[in-house]
Amino acid sequence: MEKPQALPGPLAAAPFTFASALASGVPPRRLRLRDVIHVGRGLYRPSDWDFDLEGAARALSAASPGVWISHVTAARLRCQLLPPWLADSTQLHLSKPRSLSPVRRKGVCGHTVLALEDEIELVDGIRMSTRSRTWLDLARTLPLSDLVSMGDELLRIPRLDFEQRTEPSATTAGLRALLSRHPNLQGVVRAREAMDLMRVGADSAPESLLRLALADAGLPEPELQVPLRAGDELSPSADLGYRHRRLAIQYDGGHHLLDAQILSDRRRDKAFESAGWTVLVFDKSDLADRFELAVVKVKRALRTGWLDHPQSAGFASID
């Protein structure tokens, strides 16, 4: 038996559409051989293909005119902040306008939604919801604290040295305008609640969750990204803090275990301590218990700070 002709490189590496196969010179009869699997209407993949979210989303987008990748799939493709139970999701989410027939594809979760043109964009050849619209779409799925964390990530001011950009992914005004366009969308009430809790300045989900835990405990809201020396761009800073109490709070994630980062963290903390600040450092073990012990430590430090600085405003009710 004659060995079948190999598929062209791009078709052999990822899912592809019937149209792209024809454009590559592959005849329809070639798609009926065992090394090709018919996934669904107009969509195929190599039989030995290992699942790749971007490849699957790209082919699905190309095979579905007028629709767009959305929800968890869009968030994952953009590396947006998701809770651990969704961070590795392989489910494909596809949204469409009401004017098109329902999405009926095996393994695809279809959504019929109202979206304006500026809420959808083309990213590296894949049509998908914008970061802000993805956040709104996930409002009905995510718990409030995770929705706030995801929103904080949209609002944070990027660091040019690390991200090659200076503008945030969204603004508070822009997100509120988005919510006003969709007053009847499922999840919009939770999104509004999240907006009231979102802040500019959180550099990670744990920082957002720690801030929310402090608020839930009735503590005053801390400042974010607190410099030791106000107005000094070279000053070390605390992730959260209470300047009037000279209390600096740091959350050290996994990258803080690297030797160079450990030395940098020590210099940072020593600078605060030398200036008379108390420094509290929390890590993933505190995150695991929802910062319950962390809240106790912060309360204790604030109470001590009040004894040292009774003139500080806004802290008299700490108990």
Q: What is the pLDDT of residue 67?
A: 94
Would you say residue 207 lies in a domain? yes
- pLDDT tens-place string over residues 295-311: 999 999 999 865 555 55
Q: Is 188 helix (H, G, I), strand (E, B) or coil?
A: helix
**What CATH number does the domain containing 299 carry?**
3.40.960.10
**What CATH number does the domain containing 12 carry?**
1.10.10
Asked if residues 103 and 64 have their Cβ atoms less than 8 Å apart, the reply is yes
Would you say residue 263 lies in a domain? yes
Residue 42 CA, distance from chain mean position = 32
Q: Which residues of the chain carry a pLDDT beneath 70?
A: 1-4, 254-260, 305-319
Would you say residue 41 lies in a domain? yes
Give dist(CA 40, CA 17) in Å, integer: 10
Rounded to 5 degrees, φ, ψ at 226 are -90, 115
Q: What is the pLDDT of residue 1?
A: 45
3-state secondary structure 218-286: CCCCCEEEEECCCCCCCCCEEEEEEHHHCEEEEECCHHHHCHHHHHHHHHHHHHHHHCCCEEEEECHHH
Into how many domains does the chain fold? 2
Would you say residue 156 lies in a domain? no
- pLDDT tens-place string over residues 155-192: 999 887 777 788 999 999 999 999 999 999 999 999 99
Q: What is the pLDDT of residue 264?
A: 85
Q: What is the pLDDT of residue 291?
A: 97
Would you say residue 129 lies in a domain? no
Q: What is the pLDDT of residue 313?
A: 47
Domain hosting residue 237, numbered range: 202-319
Would you say residue 130 lies in a domain? no
Would you say residue 256 lies in a domain? yes
Would you say residue 215 lies in a domain? yes
Domain boundary among 34, 50, 66: 50
